[in-house]
């Protein structure tokens, strides 16, 4: 399974990590897993698509644009991507942005993405209730 998806911060920040070669089935699976997470989350929610460990994206952007409909969910404040954005992934994201409205930021590294979130939403600071919250 070349992806992992979990709560980076419970009920606030969803972290999807793409590993190795990413294919259509991976995109479809993540889409199915994200919906219940959005329903269980506390707004505002954030989705991080971490492609730092992806080697190749061999998914069909036309087929998968409907799988990314979740990015326009009003509970999501930002969709954040991080990692090297190779030309195919960039093309893929352009197609998705043209068909689905959402706020997106891209960063070179996961640490930069987390720094942005920490600055953008101070409620993500650590507390006894959110032990995995962003600390710095």
Which pLDDT tens digit goes with each residue over 7-32? Answer: 999 999 999 998 888 777 887 888 88
* Token digits of residue 93: 């994201």
Q: What is the pLDDT of residue 29?
A: 86
Tell me: pLDDT of 1 over 60.
Answer: no
Q: How many domains does the chain have?
A: 1
| pLDDT above 70 as % of the chain | 73
Pairing of strands 45-57, 13-22: parallel
Structural domain contains residue 130: no
pLDDT of 135 strictly over 60: no
State the pLDDT at residue 136: 40
Could you tell me the residue range of the domain that residue 42 belongs to?
3-124
pLDDT value at residue 120:
92
Question: Is position 113 within any domain?
Answer: yes
């Amino acid at each position: 399974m070349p992806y992992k998806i979990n709560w980076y911060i419970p009920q606030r920040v969803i972290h999807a990590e793409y590993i190795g070669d990413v294919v259509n089935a991976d995109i479809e699976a993540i889409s199915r897993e994200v919906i219940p997470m959005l329903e269980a989350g506390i707004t505002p929610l954030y989705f991080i698509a971490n492609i730092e460990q992806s080697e190749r994206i061999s998914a069909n952007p036309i087929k998968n644009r409907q799988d990314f409909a979740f990015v326009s969910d009003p509970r999501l404040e930002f969709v954040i991507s991080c990692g090297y954005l190779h030309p195919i992934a960039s093309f893929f994201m352009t197609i998705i942005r043209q068909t689905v409205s959402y706020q997106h930021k891209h960063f070179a590294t996961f640490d930069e993405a987390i720094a942005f979130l920490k600055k953008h939403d101070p409620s993500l600071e650590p507390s006894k209730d959110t032990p995995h919250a962003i600390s710095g």
